[in-house]
Each structure stands twice: as C-alpha cells, then as structure tokens.
Chain A
Amino acid sequence: MEGFEPKIVAFCCKWCSYAAADLAGTSRLKIKPNFVVIRTMCSSRVDPEFILQAFLNGADGVLVAGCHPGDCHYVNGNYKTLRRVMLLKKVLEQLGIDPRRLRLEWIAASESRKFVVTIRKFVDELKQLGPLRLEAGDDNGSNG
C-alpha cells in the first residue's frame, strides 16, 4: 500500500469541532491534508445518506465530529448522532465496508490537539485498511 493517501470527509458541527479545527489553524498545528471539512450546524444534521454518498464517491474514511455528550449546543443532538452512527456502522458491515472507516469523535472547541490527533490516527488506520474497494467488498477490512 506504498504511497496510498486516504481521502477523508470530516463533518464538523459549527459550535465545537469546526471551532476546534479553526483553533488548530490559529495555533498553527500541523496536519496531513488528507481531509476536507464540511460544516453543519450540529452533528445531528449529518444524514447517514451523506456518509454513504461519501463512500460511494471515493472517500476512504468519514469522520463525524460533535460536541461532547452533555455539551451539545442543541441540547442533545449529539446523542442522536451517536445512535445513528452506531446503527450505520452495523449497516456498513452488511455492505462489506469496514465500520472502522466511519469514526465518531467528540471534540470540544478548545480541543484543537484532539482534532489533530484524531485526523492523524484516522489517516494511519485508513492506511492500514487500504483504499476502499466497493465493488469487490472491502477486502482489507476485518469482515471483508
């Protein structure tokens, strides 16, 4: 898998994780450019459909990031996200996509370092998993 650079779509909520990514920039922390952030108001706006679309269109991994449990700007949106992501991971397994390709993280606005580490670890893990191959099933996954 030499030279493989995974593509990541990162859905970040406006209030916590998007702000953490901003802070990573302001603090000039360095991250690999394997990801692009898409901003939603709340992580609970992320329809599982968007995640499947990302995989269909060539993403090797999808990150959903929200506020910590109990800190949601919209009272409890992140709990809904948690339930949806848990369920979707099971669906991914059925579809032959390694559920590790979908990551849910709670990143507070102050946690720029956590944002960086999350991306770094995700990139490393996806490198281990290799590129997502949809037609043949995700051969590199644990259930492949």
Chain B
Amino acid sequence: MEPRIGVFVCHCGINIASTVDVKRVVEAIKGYPGVVHAEDYVYMCSDPGQELIRSRIKEKKLNGVVVAACSPTLHEATFRNTVSQVGLNPYRCEIANIREHCSWIHTDRDKATEKAIKIVKSIVEKVKLNDELLPISIPITKRALVIGGGIAGIQAALDIANAGYEVILVEKNPSIGGHMAQLSETFPTLDCAQCILTPKMVEVGQHPNIKLYNYAEVEDLSGYVGNFKVKIRLKASYVDWSKCVGCGVCMEKCPTKVPSEFEMGLTTRKAIYVPFPQAVPNKPVIDRENCLYFKTGKCRICEKVCTFGAIKFDEQDEFVEEEVGAIIVATGYELYPIEKIGEYGGGKYKDVINGLQFERLLSASGPTGGGVQRPSDRKVPKRVAFVSCVGSRDPELHKPYCSKVCCMYLTKHAMLYKHRVPDGEPIVFYIDIRSDGKGYEEFVQRAQEEEHVTYIRGKVSKIYEDNGELVLLAVDTLTGEPLEVRVDMVVLGMAIVPSPAVYELAKKLKIQIDANGFLTEAHPKLRPVETLTPGIFLAGCAHAPKDIPDTVAQASAAASKVLEMFSQKELQHDPMVATVDEDRCSGCGVCVTLCPYGAREIEVKDGKRVAKVNEAKCEGCGSCIAGCPAGACQQRNLKDEQLVNMVKAVLE
C-alpha cells in the first residue's frame, strides 16, 4: 500500500504550543516521505478537531493518520475511533506523544521543537508499515468453575448461578462450608455463623445451575480464557451417595475413632464420617487412611449394617472433564501451625489452643455444647489469655504480614468467654489493635469498657505450664513493667496462611503466588480480583487474609467479572500478537520456552517443525520475537522493521 499519511499536530491550547513551535513541526513533516498532508489545530481532541481529521481523510484519501498530541494512554482510543468512523482501519492511526514526552518536560523551545519533529517522524515510520487489523474474536463457554467451597466460593457460585449461568463448584472436603462453618458467632454483630451460612450451603446444594463436586480436586487445566478444559479428580468416598440416605448407622457402628478435623482435634469422629451435622451434601465418606478394613483387611462393619448397600470398598478415584469459560479460585486459608511457635510450647500444652479451637469451644454445636471448658481436664477456665500476632508481623521468624482478623476475633472471643463465664477474667495481649471495619472499633471499645476485658499492650515472650496453670511472660509496653501472668487457658491468634495445596494448584492454573504463598492479583489497586492470566479470578483468603464481609464482597466482585465476560457474545482480544513466517522458522522452540502464557507451540507441518501462535493466549509482550534466532517471529504492527525505522528516524 502506497502510504498516504496525514499528520495532525495539536497545540493543546498552550500546553504544547508554548514550548513546541507547532507550525515548524507541520512544515518540517510536510515533505517527509509518505506524508501527504500536515496541519495543526488548537485542540485536536475537540469535536471540530476530530471532524477536521475525518474530513481530511476523505478529502486527501489518507490511508494513515498520525496525531501529534498527548500521551497515547489518553487519546489513542479516541482518535482510533475517529478515523474508523470514516472507514479507516483504527490500527492505521497512531499517536505521537509530544506533550508528556516533550513540551511539558523541556524548556528550550528550539530543541523541544526539533525533538517533537523526531518523535512525529518515528511515528510516521510506524504507521507506514502498520497493517489493517481486526480485534481477534474468541468464543466463550459460558460456564464457570469455582475452586473452593468456603464462604468465598459459595458466594461466587451463587452469584453466577443466580444470573443464569452454570457453575461447577469443586470442594476438596466432604462438605462445603469451609472455615466459616466452624465459627461460633461473628464480629462485630455476634451473628451466629452457622445460622447465616447454612441456608447458603443448602442453596448451593439444591441450585439447579450448580454442579457440586465435593471430595474432589482440580487435577489439571488446559485451554485459555473462555475455553478452559478442567480435569477433576473425584476422590473415592467408598460410599455410593446415590444409594445412601444419610441414616448414620454406619457412623454409629464404626469402631475407629479419629481426631475430628472439623472440631479441630477437640473431639473424635469415626473413620466413616460426615464432617458435621449440617454438612452439604450430608453423605458420609470413608477415610481410607484410618479405616480398619483398609489398614488390616478386616472389619467391614459399615457394610454389614448398611441396609441400602451403599458401601463399596472397591471404589477408585474417578476423573471427569468439564469445559468452562472462567475460573474463580477461592481456596481459603489455614492457621499457621502452633508447632512452629517454640516459645509457646510448640503444641505440647493441651490448654494452649488456637482461635478455631476456641470457636468450637464456644459453638453451641461444638464438643462442649458451647460451654467453655479447657481441653486438659474439662474445667471451666477462670482466667483466659488471648494472644494476638502469633506468627504474624514477625518477618524475622515467621510471617511478615498482618493476618487482619485476629484483633477482632480475639476481642469477640474475650467477649463471648465473658458471656459464658461471667466471673471469668479475659486478658488480651496485643501489639496494636487493628479495628478498621464498619462497627469494629466500637466493638473493641465495648469489650474494653462494657465487658471489662483487660487489654495489655505487649507481646508474650514465653508460655509454660506450672502446677496446672499456664504462665505467660510478657512486658506491658505502656508501663514498661515485666509481667508474669498465670491463667488457666491460652488462645493464640495464629497467623493466617494460604491453604497448603494452593502452591500446586497455582502451578496447574499458571497463576502467580507471592512470597507468602498467597495468590497474586493483576493489580493491587485497580484489578484486585483478577489474576494476570485472563479468565482466572480470585476471592477470599487465598488472595490475602481478610474477614467475612471483605471475602463476600470480593467473591461477588469476582463473580461480576465473570458475568461481565459472559455478557459478551464473544471475547475481543488485542490483535497485536506474535506471528510466524513459516518459511523462516526452523522449529527450534526457543519461542515456546520464552512464552509465559503457553501461547507458543511447535507443530509438524508437511514434515517440518514450525512454531505456532495461539492468538487467544498471546498477550503481545514480544519476548519471543526478540528471542527468535531466525527472525521468523514478528509482532503485528510492532515489526522489527518498524522499530528499526523508528530508531533511524529519531537519529536522523
């Protein structure tokens, strides 16, 4: 195509014109090869300015446009839209940044003008070789995968399902509900966690648009945004759930007792079990690790007592494949293991427990029916210490970050303990109190002033057992006094850490995790629920420690991002992707190793290895192009030749 380029130089009022002699720019560029028209105008982005460009395109039969104005970040889209209105391909329009990169940062008018001319020339060189492009269209499978069935996954799944789209929900445990199901009451309103969560769990279980795979894990993922293929492992439960009616006789008769995960080891469950009475689905699984039959080859009592013939010891793990267009990762958190805190006994003192264990002690459905009893001897503790920042905010030994919820739940714990044991004495040890949510500070003040919870600012340096009591050594940093406090029980506000399986999952999904193992968002401010991999979103504590309201909000935000995608007919993708000259390509595969998105692959074509580009996956970074030893790869509208010509133009 013979270039017929028009150059439009903007004054931007005096923003450009005061430092750059725009008339001189116009004059200088007029004779430049390929330029058939050049003129200036005071505000090119104004309606008359845009109209000027449109009419000149028609009059002068322009097939390329350079607008010399502000940064392309501001008006590239504007002017590309302008030119397309009169039939010019938008990718034949480029912006020469002579404001931010020239008039605003220089003072010498003469030199600034010379520089502006160079900038315009380089952009003219680019436009000369720009191809007419169309955005790449990608079809979308309008089904979502949600990984993790805690409150984040539940909320996201319900939002998408209620909007009318199918959701595949994968939960690794026998039941959905996550950690929220373990909580007694929630701060700052003291709502009963189960009362607000159970209806949502039931809704998930019954929703016609939600396909729940409980006791299942994501095995593998392939494909790309809009077109993922996910392989799911359905772990053998050894119970035929279609036959099981949930009568519970098997659990009653099973002879093997195992510490209950749901009850945080405070009580036991059987080897065939439902994690908790409100479980969804309410069907048991056999824990292969602990089942007597699997260990010794003898027992099978559950099989004998099941009148429905639902037990099947020969079951194997199964795999299913699902196609989805978007994925939400909501794999949640664990508590940092108490074994890592040597100075607090490292787990050897029975009455030093973590926050989730205390939740179970407070819970009406817990092992004590909601009565606070200490684990060692079931006595009602008369003094309880609550220690915050255990493992958090400790960059040297443990985790550098703040776990966000401990200040608040320890306050809630102290308050609820006081409600259960009115003559009890709760003592909270803290570094700072972080009460930054709605109603949170008021809640802490209520604990201090109305409920008479003692707050001591100081980190506990040691906990040990002496004569059936626990001794805490600390310093009150407000008075500077060393303290030795004797209590009956200690509750530790352990750091929140990502669910350990997230590392493997992140590798399968090709999403990033940060130094602490949390999933990385695409942008900390402006893209907080997206990952850098298009089509994969995140929610809840898998991303960072957060409380229930923030988790629910983020889950809904992730769901709305998915719905935004699903509301489109097809996905549009920037066409400035990599291309391959198959005649030049030697099939060496360097590009395959360089591509961070898995968009490059080697294909055998007529007996010759050649590199391919998956345009839907290619994000257009260009690292494969610079790395191609044969010069066989190019980037659309940012070809080597264009860039070299641009370099030459600025050095003329």
* Given known A36-B119, A46-B626, A47-B643, contact A57–B101 (CB-CB < 8 A): no
Collect the chain A residues with CB atoms within 8 Å of residue B170's CB: none
CB–CB B643/A40 < 8 A:
yes
* A97 within 8 A of partner (CB): no
* A114 within 8 A of partner (CB): no
Collect the chain A residues with CB atoms within 8 Å of residue B112's CB: 33
Task: Report B91-121 CB contacts with A as 1/0, cut-off 8 Å.
Answer: 0000001011110111110011011001100
* Given known A54-B647, A57-B648, A84-B626, contact A41–B100 (CB-CB < 8 A): no
* B558 within 8 A of partner (CB): no
CB–CB B101/A41 < 8 A:
no
In the complex, how many angstroms separate the beta carbon of A77 from the nearest chain B beta carbon? Answer: 5
Closest to B635 in A: A45
In the complex, how many angstroms separate the beta carbon of A29 from the nearest chain B beta carbon? Answer: 6
Collect the chain B residues with CB atoms within 8 Å of residue A49's CB: 640, 644
Pick the contact of A40: B99, B106, B115, B638 (CB < 8 A): B638
Collect the chain A residues with CB atoms within 8 Å of residue B324's CB: none
In whole angstroms, how far apart are the Cα atoms of A38 and B643 in the complex? 8
CB–CB B118/A36 < 8 A:
yes
A-B pair number, CB within 8 angstroms: 122
In whole angstroms, how far apart are the Cα atoms of A80 and B623 in the complex? 8
* B630 within 8 A of partner (CB): no
In the complex, how many angstroms separate the beta carbon of B646 from the nearest chain A beta carbon? Answer: 5
Collect the chain B residues with CB atoms within 8 Å of residue A48's CB: 626
Closest to B626 in A: A47
In whole angstroms, how far apart are the Cα atoms of A53 and B72 in the complex? 25
- Give the interface size bracket for A toward B: 35 or more
CB–CB A31/B105 < 8 A:
yes
List the one stretch of B175-183, B192-200, B614-622 in contact with chain A: B614-622
In whole angstroms, how far apart are the Cα atoms of A50 and B576 in the complex? 19
* A108 within 8 A of partner (CB): no
* Given known A38-B650, A45-B623, A76-B596, contact A24–B643 (CB-CB < 8 A): no
Pick the contact of B100: A21, A40, A50, A54 (CB < 8 A): A21
* A59 within 8 A of partner (CB): yes
CB–CB A74/B619 < 8 A:
yes
CB–CB B622/A25 < 8 A:
no
* A102 within 8 A of partner (CB): no
Pick the contact of B106: A31, A39, A53, A57 (CB < 8 A): A31
In whole angstroms, how far apart are the Cα atoms of A47 and B114 in the complex? 27
* B625 within 8 A of partner (CB): yes
Collect the chain B residues with CB atoms within 8 Å of residue A36's CB: 101, 115, 118-119, 122, 650
Pick the contact of A45: B99, B107, B638 (CB < 8 A): B638
Collect the chain B residues with CB atoms within 8 Å of residue A32's CB: 106
In whole angstroms, how far apart are the Cα atoms of A35 and B621 in the complex? 24
SS class, residues of chain B in contact with chain A: helix
In the complex, how many angstroms separate the beta carbon of A36 from the nearest chain B beta carbon? Answer: 4
- Tell me the residues in window 32-88 of chain A with beta carbons closer than 8 Å to chain B beta carbons: 32-33, 36-42, 44-50, 53-54, 57-59, 73-77, 80, 84
In whole angstroms, how far apart are the Cα atoms of A57 and B108 in the complex? 25
In whole angstroms, how far apart are the Cα atoms of A54 and B649 in the complex? 10
Collect the chain A residues with CB atoms within 8 Å of residue B644's CB: 49-50, 53
CB–CB B625/A75 < 8 A:
no
* Given known A45-B626, A74-B621, A84-B626, contact A50–B647 (CB-CB < 8 A): yes
CB–CB B651/A9 < 8 A:
yes
* A19 within 8 A of partner (CB): yes
* B456 within 8 A of partner (CB): no
* Given known A9-B650, A50-B643, A53-B644, contact A38–B122 (CB-CB < 8 A): yes
CB–CB B623/A44 < 8 A:
yes
CB–CB A22/B100 < 8 A:
yes
CB–CB A33/B647 < 8 A:
no
* B310 within 8 A of partner (CB): no
Collect the chain B residues with CB atoms within 8 Å of residue A9's CB: 647, 650-651
In whole angstroms, how far apart are the Cα atoms of A88 and B636 in the complex? 25
Taking Cβ atoms with an 8 Å cutoff, the residues of A that contact B are 7, 9, 19, 21-22, 24-26, 28-33, 36-42, 44-50, 53-54, 57-59, 73-77, 80, 84, 116
Q: A33-B106, A37-B119, A41-B576 are in contact. List 14 more A-B contacts (CB 8 A).
A: A21-B101, A22-B73, A25-B101, A31-B105, A37-B101, A41-B622, A42-B621, A44-B594, A45-B623, A47-B640, A50-B643, A58-B651, A74-B619, A75-B596
The 9 A-B pairs with the shortest beta carbon distances in the complex, nearest first, are: A25-B100, A45-B622, A44-B623, A74-B621, A75-B596, A25-B104, A42-B621, A36-B650, A47-B626
A-B residue pairs in contact (CB < 8 Å), sample of 7? A21-B100, A33-B111, A38-B646, A41-B576, A50-B643, A57-B647, A80-B626
